[in-house]
Every structure is written in structure tokens, then in C-alpha cells.
A and B are shown apart, each in its own frame.
Chain A
């Protein structure tokens, strides 16, 4: 990786990266590409987030779903770990709490595949500075 040599270069890089991330979200196949973020701070991992993420990745393969999985930090819902956020193309992200392997399957088969809601959505209750 070449070093960032100026602020202008950093800003250009930001724009480029934003675009790639947007494209990644929209994907070549906007109908199918789904993004799943797993809260993987210590608390999430302790509650089993890692296993759930692995399980979910296997399950998604099995179901032939094109999903981008990423780890992220604490979402703040300690009362409902493990938590994952599912972002369907063109929709607001939805956060699910208390996700174990069964619920992960349910989220994939019901919400991701059929747009059916699944019990235990966590309503996002904060605003974030962009």
C-alpha cells in the first residue's frame, strides 16, 4: 500500500472508498446482495457472536445467498447479545438481538429470502454523527 501523501489524497481516497463500499452494498446484482454486520466486541464474542457468524456464513453458502459478512464493534445492545444488523438492498438496516444458530437460520430463510419479519427486532434508538 502506498502511503497517503497529503490531505487531498486522503480525501480522494475517502471518496473512492465510499463508492466501493456503496457499490459493494448495491452490488452487481442489486436484488440479491445483502450485508450482514455482526457486533464483535468482547461482549458479543463472549455471548457467541463468532460461532453465530460462522454458522450463518455456512448456512448462507448452503442457501446460495450472496451476503457480505463484516464484523463491527459494539452496537450498544448488551441486553440482547449477540446482535447482528441486516441491510437489505434499498432498505433501512434492521437489527436482530439474541441471535443464536436457530434464529440465524430463521433470519436468513424468513427475512433475507422472503422479507418476512422475525421476532426480536431491536429498534435502533440512537442517532449517529456521520
Chain B
């Protein structure tokens, strides 16, 4: 028998160490130390109800266990085999105690559809994929469905583009299929570029066959025989696994001519991107594949009309494709049952930032931010306060506590001032300065702008310069006004999606953290202590004993003696000249008397 005790940060803070200690002690007292093993585990992700204790092998899940409950668990459950009912998890829906964790709703918070094979199969072995039902969707399409039926099924499923904009996938296929042409292309957009996002990479590395299969299905549906994957050259493992998958599929006759004896031909080639964020925009991606400068062109014409080599092309993102085979095998009706009213299925997020369980998660559309942060992510690191969550990367915005119960899907995120984006999700706590965060994302956009249209090329640079002024303590209230105007114009007038969404991080922080901007501008203060130029180092004259170590450490000779001798001290205290201070922190690290602080 095993007692599993959650050792996650959240539970640890609420005395899980004491619980383990108690278990060990009481079990030893009863002479059960050899029969029952007590183990500390990683975070269960269910910190809201922590500390968690799980008894194996019967999967009993105790929540909010206190150290004094341990004796009861040992006596009742371990010795007598009776579950301690009042410590069991109570299902909030029907007010019933759930003893077996497999039946807890909590485990349905995450549902892996796109990631269904990731971490399950060996991605370099097509047999394992076939054993999991791989290529059956393609087989079904080719033998039992007409191309129009495939399009209808995908449309009916409600699948929307996972690259960020959320355009209905089936409709996109339908638009492309209308432009019948002897040469058409299925393009997989694997140019994942959001900082911190790696959803697509993980799918390609963990389940490349689902992409190969989905592209072939799309080819059949729209009437294309060529598939192209535009993938970043910085993804060598994903490239390797895709290459292996393509080669294996060809060997099995699942790519190439006369697939599964149906007369359908389809093959896939890889094209490598050089890591330009803007090449994730579909027209820029196509130009890059054509060997031209990777910059967007105005739509229309859409790729469905004039795409790669001016031929009708359908561009979908990796995660979108990963959903397709399972929609075909399990049906649109099944897929429709998952998710929210207007956004069906699940979304993969790369959960990062000041959160305990940084990781790749997949949740049904409509899951709240609160569930993701507190139940899946295990809450904020170090038990600190949640401040904001950034979704959608450089195109998204920062949402705050008031949005925690927002059910995330394409439309609700846009309504809240952010966007789905490709699935980056960065959680921030009070140690994050929201002005600095806005600046970080804008710096990224400035780097990655192609420079074609003036609002994005010059406007973003000017916005960044204004933010620089603000974080340097030179900002004015007029600057904030200008920032808003510029952001609005760039959003309204930029050429492509990159430019149109680039002001979002600034706009959303202006909306949600206006006070912080005003503090930077008026009080010249950064409450998170991030903006270096706004920091002030001060010596507490009453704590300082005048040893002078700080002055010795100071590389800028900014510290000198005062005339003030505090009570009980022999030497005059020191002081810092703020005009000379370079905020290096050398004084603080040298002071043994905690006399120096940052304000």
C-alpha cells in the first residue's frame, strides 16, 4: 500500500511536510512502516483543495487534509479499510463524495484530442500510430466519403483555425475547393513563432503522423495532390520526425500514388522557414515558400484563390490539422459535444510564467482561466498573488483578476481585449511590471515587423520609444494619450494581422492597469520594482551602523557618510546620492544589517 502526499508548492505551503511526517510517525508506531510506503509526489494541480493525499492502490483521493487528520486516515482507512468520508472530494455539481479519483471531474479539466498520441506513441514508429487508429480517418474519407462530405463533416464539427484567428476550417476548405484547378496546394503552417509557444512543435514531435494524415484528408477534400509543410529550421527534431513519418507513410502507401488503392494521389514536401515571425501570416508564408521576401500582401486575393505559385492553396495550422483525423473517425457530432457554443473542441496552451505547473496543457474550449491557473497550473509560484495572464503572445493582451472566470474561447478572449493566438499563456504575479510586459511584447513586434506598412514599421517603433520614456521615468500624461491614439491607428490601419494586433499588449495593459502607467508617469514609481531607472536605493539611518561596507562596494562612489549618529550607534550613518546611484545592488548584498532597501 502507498500513501501519496502532494509535494507541490501549494500543498507544501499548507503543511504537506507535516502530514508526511505524521504519517511516517503514526505508521511506525503501529508497526506498519514496511507495509505502507509514504511518498511525496509532484503537484496534483488541484491546489485549491490541497493538501492532497492519495491512497493507492484503491485510488482514494483525500482533499484539504490537515496534519491532525492523519491519525484518522491511518486508523480508519489503512487499518480498517473504511474510507474517511468527510475528507473525500465533494463533487460540486451533485454534492456527492467521490472516492475514486478516476471519477473526479477534475480529471476532465484537461482533455487531450490534438495531443492524443503525444507521450503515448513512439512518433518514429508508424505501427504504433496505426495501432492507435492512425490513417483510418484518411481511409474512411477515401473509401466512404465524397470530398464534399469531408468538407461538410469538418464544417459541421465547428473546428476553427488554431493558429489564432479562429476561421472555420471547413468553410476555408470549401472556399478553396470551389476554385478547382489542376494544381492546388495543401499547406501546413508550422512556423510557430510566438515567444514561449511550442504547441505545434510538440505535436509534430509527438504525433507527426496525424499531420501527414490530416493533410492528405484535406488534399482529398479540396482536390489537391501536393502538400507543403512550412516549418521553422530551428525545429530540427520536428523536421526529423516529420521526415521519418512521411517516409514511413510513403512506404506503407499512405502517401504517394494510388493511396489505399483508391486512385487518390497525395504527397508532402517540407519547406524551411528562417524564423521570421511574420511568416506565420499566410500570405507572407506563401511568399517565403516561393523564395520571395517574407512579407504579407493585402487580402483579397486570398490563398484559396491565388496562393502558392498563384494557385489555389489552403493553409492550416499544425494544431488544426491534428484535430482533423479524429473528427473524421469519431464524427462531427462527437466533436461538437466538446467546447463552448461557438468554439468547439479543445485548445492546447503552453502554460508559462509565474505558475507552479509550467507545461503543455489541452483544455476544452470554455474552460475558465481560473481552472487553468489554479486547478491545472497549480496556482501561482511561491503563493504570491495572481496579477495578470497574457494570452495570444505578441498579438494578445493581458487579462486580469476580473477576467479569471472568463470562459476562454476565440470570441470571449477578443471581447476581453486579448485573443486566442496560437496558444501562449503567460501567468504573471505582483513581481511583474505591466508597463515592462507591454514593452517586452512590443519589442518583439518591432523586431519581427517586416517593415512593409508604415503604421507597423514606424508606429510600433514610436510606441516603443514612448514606453521607453515611461519606464525611464521621463513619461508624461500626454505620452499616455499619444500611446492610445497610436495604438488605435495601428490596429485600424496596419496591413496584416501582425500589425493589426501588435498594439494589443499595450492597449490591454492601458485598459486593465491604467493606475500602473500613471504611477510610472506621475509618481515615477514602478510598484513591481522592475523598471530599474525608477528604483531608489535608500539607507535606513537608524539601522545603519556606519561600517562603510556599502560605500566600499559601490562602484559609482554614490555612498557617503552623513552627520547623523543613530541612538546606540557609534558611527554616523551612510547615505546614497540618487543622482550617482546606478542601481547595481552591490550595496544591498554587502549590508549585514538590512539597512538598505529599494523603493
Residues of B within 8 A of A (CB): 2, 4, 6-7, 37, 39-46, 54, 56-57, 106-113, 115-125, 127-128, 130-133, 135-136, 139-140, 142-144, 198, 201-203, 205-207, 235, 237-238, 251-254, 260-261, 326, 330, 350, 352, 356-362, 376
Contacts and interface: CB of A to CB of B under 8 A. Distances in A.
B131 A42 contact: no
A119 B109 contact: no
Contacts of A32: none
A7 B112 contact: no
Contact of A75 (B4, B119, B122, B131): B119
A41 B40 contact: no
Interface in A87-118: 91, 97, 116-118
Contacts of B125: 70
Contacts of A97: 42
30 contacts: A4-B252, A4-B254, A5-B261, A6-B143, A14-B136, A17-B130, A37-B119, A39-B119, A42-B198, A43-B198, A45-B237, A73-B120, A73-B121, A73-B123, A73-B206, A73-B207, A117-B4, A117-B56, A119-B41, A120-B41, A121-B41, A122-B41, A123-B44, A123-B54, A125-B44, A125-B107, A126-B361, A127-B111, A129-B113, A129-B116
A17 B135 contact: no
A41 B237 contact: yes
Given A78-B358, A116-B37, A120-B41, A11 B252 contact: no
A10 B135 contact: yes
Interface string A29-44: 0000000010111110
A1 B251 contact: yes
A81 B202 CA distance: 14
Contacts of A18: 131
Nearest to A11: B136
A1 B91 CA distance: 52
Given A17-B130, A41-B202, A129-B113, 4 more contacts: A17-B131, A42-B201, A72-B119, A127-B111
A66 interface: no
A14 to B, nearest CB: 5
A121 B260 contact: no
Interface string A41-76: 111010000000000000000000000001111111
B260 A4 contact: yes
Contacts of A21: 128, 131
Contact of A73 (B41, B118, B261, B352): B118
B523 to A, nearest CB: 37
Q: Which of A1, A17, A76 has the most CB of B within 10 A?
A: A76
B112 A129 contact: yes
A1 B206 contact: no
Nearest to B127: A17
A76 B360 CA distance: 4
Given A119-B7, A127-B110, A6 B261 contact: yes
A71 B118 contact: no
Contact of B205 (A5, A41, A120): A41
A80 B43 CA distance: 10
A12 to B, nearest CB: 10
Nearest to B114: A129
B237 A123 contact: no
Q: Which of B108, B205, B261, B357 has the most CB of A within 10 A?
A: B205
B252 A42 contact: no
Interface of A: 1, 3-7, 9-11, 13-14, 17-18, 20-21, 37, 39-43, 45, 70-80, 85, 91, 97, 116-123, 125-130
Contact of A123 (B41, B111, B122, B203): B41
Nearest to A75: B119
Contacts of B118: 41, 72-76
Contacts of A130: 116, 132-133
Contact of A7 (B45, B113, B115, B260): B260
B39 A119 contact: yes
A11 B144 CA distance: 14
Given A4-B254, A71-B124, A77 B359 contact: yes
A73 B251 contact: no
B205 A42 contact: yes
A72 B122 contact: yes
Contacts of A126: 107, 109-112, 361-362
Nearest to A118: B39
Q: Which of A43, A77, A79 has the most CB of B within 10 A?
A: A79
A21 to B, nearest CB: 5
Contacts of A43: 198, 202
Contacts of A4: 135, 252-254, 260
Contact of B133 (A5, A14, A20, A41): A14
Nearest to A1: B251
B352 to A, nearest CB: 8
A1 to B, nearest CB: 5
Contacts of A37: 119-120
Nearest to B238: A42
Contacts of A39: 119
Contacts of B361: 76, 126
Given A13-B130, A14-B133, A127-B108, A42 B235 contact: yes
Nearest to B40: A119
A89 to B, nearest CB: 14
Contacts of B359: 76-79
Contacts of A42: 198, 201, 205, 235, 237-238
Given A73-B119, A120-B7, A41 B206 contact: yes
Given A14-B130, A41-B237, A78-B359, A3 B122 contact: no
A127 B131 contact: no
A79 B360 CA distance: 9
Given A119-B7, A125-B45, A79 B205 contact: no
Contacts of B128: 17, 21
A72 B121 contact: yes
A78 B260 contact: no
Contacts of B113: 129
A5 B260 contact: yes
Contacts of A119: 7, 39-41
